[in-house]
A and B are shown apart, each in its own frame.
Chain A
């Protein structure tokens, strides 16, 4: 096999390379392929070669290449090579999927900042479409932050959310209820008609959540009810001599 490829190398490269600048790549590929046939880890190496080839050629070119080799070289393991090609393509697809997932996670992270905007007040501007994975991830982070900062009020601004489905709406309501269980209040602001529709259909309890028309009035309200720490200690009625 090795000899057959090397012997026909020039000719094969000529037929395979679509343009002159790809000749080098095809030549390297064929030489390495010929070499791989006699190696111990033949399967792995060939798959790797196919993967590298797909960096400069598309799947069609790879298949055409395998077909050409099959017609020119006697005893070429056609089926096996096609199998490797499929596996190489699958490998690339999986890598892409992983990358996409990572990017999505990064995006989710960036799109969900939790800002301590005032003493005892957290602001969460939600941006973009929420899916259930992102919503759950956000709920965990927000609950953690609310507990650790002991924020009195959490303002959730959904101005940047185009719409939500019932599953995500359900997650949001659960998140609000969970925040209430920590003893903090939730102010929801920036609700568009679509979101109002979903939330009410889901049976959001407006006694649990304070609604404000826009971020400005939400902030005004929040600052108004946030306890001022300098006052608090004088508040004790039974504090005998508790002066500070």
Chain B
């Protein structure tokens, strides 16, 4: 799985209570706002973090969300990177989970991962059954 050094990140959020979902969403929103993302992109980022935090809480009970600002690509675009990782049960069929409409938990739309992927510019997932799941997503800031 992915090695993480918390010191490399601007924000580290521990997810273990239901209320941590709303807190992480709020923290992500504030951070994206400070990075000067457009209001629409701030909302998309906050929503994606909300989904990631919920997945951790639902399936793994606890885990971490790491957020940082970085420069990406040859044009060095200002980018927000979000890493969500847990040591939960892992996902058996990653492809199916990402394609949308799939859920192992009741009372959800099953759009979690697919929705996150649509909201962000890049999406990467690693998961191993019995070991855990790591999701890395990025969104570039566009100049308008």
Interface residues of A (CB under 8 A from B): 101, 105, 133, 136-137, 139-140, 143
Contact = CB atoms under 8 A, between A and B. Distances in A.
B38 A105 contact: no
A137 B39 CA distance: 12
Nearest to B41: A140
Contacts of B39: 140
B40 A140 contact: yes
A136 B142 CA distance: 10
Interface of B: 38-40, 142-144
Contacts of B143: 101, 105
Nearest to B118: A174
Nearest to B40: A140
A239 B142 CA distance: 50
Contacts of A139: 40
Contacts of A133: 142
Given A105-B144, A140-B40, A143-B40, 8 more contacts: A101-B143, A133-B142, A136-B142, A137-B142, A137-B144, A139-B40, A140-B38, A140-B144
B43 to A, nearest CB: 10
A137 B38 CA distance: 10
A140 B40 CA distance: 7
10 closest A-B pairs by beta carbon, nearest first, are A140-B40, A137-B144, A140-B38, A133-B142, A105-B144, A137-B142, A105-B143, A143-B40, A101-B143, A136-B142
Contacts of A143: 40
Contacts of A105: 143-144
Contacts of A140: 38-40, 144
A98 B32 CA distance: 24
Contacts of A137: 142, 144
